[in-house]
Amino acid sequence: MAADFLATTRSMSDERRWTTAVALALGLALLAAWTAWLVLVEVPVRVVSKSARIEIDQIAHPLAAPLAGRVVTVLARQDDRVQRGQALVELDSQAQRLELAEAQARLAAQRAELVAVEDQLDIERHALDIERESASAAAAEVKARLRQASIASTHARRKTQQLERLSANGFVADNERFDAEALAEQSAAATDAARQSVHGVAAQKQLSVAQRRSGIEALERQATVLTGQVATSEAAVLRLRHEIDRRTIRAPIDGDIVEFAAVTPGAMVQQGDRMGVVLPAGTLRATAELEPSDALGRVHEGQLAQLRLDGFPWAQHGVVEATIRRVAGEVRDGSIHIELDIDVPGSTIPLQHGLPGIVEIELERVSPATLVLRAAGKALAEPVRSVGQALTGNGARP
């Protein structure tokens, strides 16, 4: 009986030693594996952005009401593709259209009157040229008559002188001499009359030309006034057309309407009211904001990143692969701004402008042991920094 008990005890002791050895071996193996993992395996170190957003690499153009008015017609809706200059919303312009019709009628009348005055000016100028030519011809005719009368007077005077000499010697009768003297006096009177006619024709010519010039100058002044009135009316027509055009909200560029105000005909809008946003065609990109401590000196162009979008669980839809294109060189509003090129064809998510999310950037790959040492160093450095700041503060006191 004692022998059996002793054998059983010995067997149990051997079994415990074997179990302990196996457990120790397993523990050592696990410790070795964990140590190897801690030292040899590399894990990624990532930084996560504060925010991220998908955007078009073109500037979105907002639509705003240029002035207050009542909506007459709505010609577009959200998600429509539009072309530059296409009418989207029309505001009431009835009053301006009536003023435009009045201004156009006034302009047409002024233009017609100006044409009539210019035609009359052409007629008067042509008549002045003809009158100058006829006056010159009349003056030449009168001067010719004066020369003819002068010649006749000279001949009569010489003949009278000759007859006076002959009459004194008794060769010519007194009656013949008297007739010659009368003829000489008539010739002298005719010469004086011709000379006066020359002066009269010249004076009449000057008076007629002056009157014609006065009429032409009056027409020219009238044409100048009408030209100014036509220019004023043309400016008024252009201004009214511009006012009417301002009451039509048009697409500033080619693109898609990504936002559009819910307005209907009859609604009132105020000047500057936001009516929508037109987004031009372009390439999708991502922008993100990082903490300066995470980005400065660690994030640079060409690094790979992953974009996780809100509303699209990554386990179901995956992530969007991206590459950093630009990193801001300074801190703004407490963040570092980065831009990323994204892999649009490789994404199963329907990417579009405005989708929010976050960006994860892989900075490096290190062993878990390195991470532990970094964490320990950071934990130890914080109290030392606090003590140093406290000592510095105490030393600065008087």
CATH 2.40.50.100 boundaries in the chain: 61-92+248-278
Measure Cα distances from 65 to 43, 56, 132, 150, 324 in Å: 56, 24, 66, 92, 38
CATH of 95-245, one of 1.10.260, 1.10.287, 1.10.3300, 1.10.10: 1.10.287
Interval 177-193: pLDDT, tens: 555 555 555 655 556 55
Q: Does domain 40-57+282-382 have CATH number 1.10.357.10?
A: no
The CATH 2.40.30.170 domain(s) of the chain lie at: 40-57+282-382
| Model confidence, pTM | 0.52
**What pLDDT score was predicted for residue 263?**
87
Task: Identify the bridge partners of residue 263 per DSSP, sorted by sequence position.
Answer: none
For residues 205 and 291, give the distance between their C-alpha atoms in angstroms, rounded to a whole number: 99
pLDDT tens, 287-312?
A: 899 888 878 878 888 888 888 888 88
Does residue 256 have a pLDDT over 70? Answer: yes
| Comparison of pLDDT for 57 and 1, the residue scoring more | 57
**Beta-carbon contacts of residue 170 (< 8 Å; ≥ 6 apart):** none
What's the confidence (pLDDT) of residue 112? 93
Distance from C-alpha of 83 to C-alpha of 352, rounded to nearest angstrom? 20
Q: What are 301-344's pLDDT values in tens digits?
A: 888 888 888 888 877 778 888 889 998 888 888 888 989 988 87
Average pLDDT over residues 267-279: 90
Q: What residue ranges of the chain are covered by domains with CATH 1.10.287?
A: 95-245
Find, among 121, 188, 129, 197, the residue nearest to 158 by Cα: 188
DSSP state of 10: H
pLDDT tens digits along 207-221: 666 777 878 888 889
| CATH assignment of 61-92+248-278, among 3.40.50.300, 2.40.50.100, 1.10.3720.10, 1.10.1740.110 | 2.40.50.100
- What does DSSP say about strands 43-48 and 61-64: parallel, antiparallel, or unpaired? unpaired
